Amino acid sequence: MSRAFIEFDEVTKRYGALTVLDKVDLTVDRHEVVTLIGASGSGKSTLLRCVNGLEDIQDGRILLDGDVVSGEGVDLVGLRRRVGIVFQSFNLFPHMTVLRNCTLTPIRAGVASRAEAEANARTMLERVGLKDKADAYPHQLSGGQQQRVAIARAMLMRPRALLLDEITSALDPELVIEVLNLVRELATDGITMMMTTHEMPFAREISSKVCFLHQGTILEQGPPEQIFEAPSAPELRSFLRKIH
């Protein structure tokens, strides 16, 4: 059996005349953590959003665990159950408690009864260090706490893979670490992850593979040591110089 869990096969994504992903080939193996790096506008978010069908593609195929999940007739609800996503902006429901934020989707999707969903949510909240915040509202939490709720909420759907799009970018520096610690823990537990981040030391530590996007193509990919210590593409070298 193939170890590949997420596969991009010559994926092209356009917005009108603008080609944002240009024949992208990419394989994410089971339990791998793959990080996308690249300048703003290089296509990182778009690539992630294609994985769980938030964007359609114009050419090529995306496979999840061997199933084609791009194109017509895809079960998007089922796909999004298998692949969770967390955004920079948390996207919690402001008028609902933390607990309700965590139970809404599992209950609606029929994944759990209300009692089960609440029990699962409390266990997950304890795991992310927010046991005593179940009845709080999002605005009563710090950004780091809100982001941990968003991650807990995604995990409660028991996804097979998790997409993290710059989830620490909106956080004050002192709150970044608590979110990264949680991501590190999830990675250790073996969930397959794709992420984008500006936290290069973290990317280097946690990733099995780093992909450098440049103008919609993966210009260079490899283990973090190679990408950060022995980059070969001039564009990647220049990118790394700029961020250091």
Asked if 28 contacts 6 with a C-beta cutoff of 8 angstroms, the reply is: yes
Minimum CB distance to Mg ion, residue 56 (Å): 18
Strands of the sheet containing 217-222, edge to edge, are 83-86, 161-165, 192-196, 33-37, 209-214, 217-222
- 45 part of the interface to Mg ion, by CB under 5 A: yes
Interface residues toward ligand ADP, by CB under 6 A: 15, 18, 20, 38, 40-46
Cα(151)–Cα(128) distance, integer angstroms: 9
Asked if 11 contacts 216 with a C-beta cutoff of 8 angstroms, the reply is: no
Between 87 and 202, CB nearer to ligand ADP: 87
Cα(2)–Cα(65) distance, integer angstroms: 9
Between 1 and 40, CB nearer to ligand ADP: 40
Q: Which of ligand ADP, Mg ion, none does residue 159 bind to, with CB < 5 to 8 Å depending on kind?
A: none
Cα(212)–Cα(5) distance, integer angstroms: 20
Between 3 and 198, CB nearer to Mg ion: 198
Minimum CB distance to ligand ADP, residue 211 (Å): 11
Between 35 and 45, CB nearer to Mg ion: 45
Q: Which of ligand ADP, Mg ion, none does residue 66 bind to, with CB < 5 to 8 Å depending on kind?
A: none
